[in-house]
Amino acid sequence: GAVVSQHPSRVICKSGTSVKIECRSLDFQATTMFWYRQFPKKSLMLMATSNEGSKATYEQGVEKDKFLINHASLTLSTLTVTSAHPEDSSFYICSASDGFSYEQYFGPGTRLTVT
Amino acid sequence: ELKVEQNPLFLSMQEGKNYTIYCNYSTTSDRLYWYRQDPGKSLESLFVLLSNGAVKQEGRLMASLDTKARLSTLHITAAVHDLSATYFCAVENTGNQFYFGTGTSLTVIP
């Protein structure tokens, strides 16, 4: 149980275009989803927290107009990187919480490369 | 801002040896998590520590939590090559948000 998927696993896009990453909880309802980014050989940095049906809360320094987060249902959250630039290239990981257990369940990650 | 530091950042150890990874954090929290990450992969949950004095063991790994000292340790006993990975601790704040440590890259040498 408690499986989280992400799609796509890898994406390459051209500078200036937008790319959408999906995060789905497959076997539970995720009241809260989280988005992290990880640069090579670095730690995970929390970008934003999203609760179903409400606006995401962004961490300090994260541009909300650049990283659009939508949590439209209890099983799906999306992260859209708008007008992507090479410096946005990173490993993006989502996680989900069911509101009952303490844990967050992590997705397999999406590697974004902006050329 | 909650800060989480790990040391060492890099650890190279011989098979069969013991070692401890330390995780210090800056604000009060009663919940601490340990994860393993293999190259190019996401996180694998290792331990969830929910209270002061908690100790959990799984195989060659043992984790403990001292909330008063704001310190958690991950102890490796008789390391084997399969343990080579990056290990992260994460501290949970009151909003159920996780803040990750800097990571410890472990290489076990045969």
Write the DSSP assignment of A26-95 as a string of letters. Answer: SSS--SEEEEEEE-TTS-EEEEEEEETTS--EEPTT--TTTEEEEEEETTEEEEEE-S--GGG-EEEEEE
Backbone torsions φ then ψ of B83, nearest 5 degrees:
-80, -5
Rg (C-alpha) for chain A, rounded Å, is 13
Q: Quick one: average pLDDT of B1-6? A: 89
User: With 80 as the cut, is the pLDDT of residue A1 above it?
Assistant: no
Q: Which of A97, A102, A107 sits opposite B50 (nearest CB)?
A: A102
pLDDT classification of B106: cutoffs 50, 70, 90 = very high
Nearest-CA residue of chain A relative to B105? A41
Measured between alpha carbons, how far is A73 from B3 in angstroms, rounded to an integer?
Answer: 32
pLDDT classification of B94: cutoffs 50, 70, 90 = confident
Q: Quick one: average pLDDT of B62-67? A: 96
pLDDT of residue A102: 80
* Closest to A100 (Cα-Cα) out of A74, A82, A80, A81: A74
Contact A96, A104 (CB under 8 A): yes
pLDDT in tens, A6-50: 999 999 999 999 999 999 999 999 999 999 999 998 999 999 999
pLDDT of residue B7: 96
Measured between alpha carbons, how far is A17 from A84 in angstroms, rounded to an integer?
Answer: 6
Measured between alpha carbons, how far is A48 from A81 in angstroms, rounded to an integer?
Answer: 13
Minimum distance, in Å, between the CA of residue B44 and any CA atom of chain A:
8
Measured between alpha carbons, how far is B6 from A73 in angstroms, rounded to an integer?
Answer: 36
pLDDT of residue B96: 83
pLDDT in tens, A61-86: 999 999 999 998 999 999 999 999 99
Cβ-based contacts of A41 with chain B (< 8 Å): 105
Is A49's CB within 8 Å of B95's CB? yes
Residues whose CB is less than 8 angstroms from the CB of residue A100 and which lie 6 or more positions away in sequence, other chains included: none
Q: Quick one: average pLDDT of B75-84? A: 96
pLDDT of residue B29: 82
pLDDT in tens, B17-56: 999 999 999 988 879 999 999 999 999 999 999 888 899 9
Is A93's CB within 8 Å of B92's CB? no
Contact B50, B31 (CB under 8 A): yes
Minimum distance, in Å, between the CA of residue B11 and any CA atom of chain A:
14
Q: How far is CA A107 from CA A81, B12, B42, B47, B93, in A?
A: 18, 29, 7, 17, 21
Backbone torsions φ then ψ of B81, nearest 5 degrees:
-55, -35
Is B97's CB within 8 Å of A102's CB? no
pLDDT of residue B28: 83
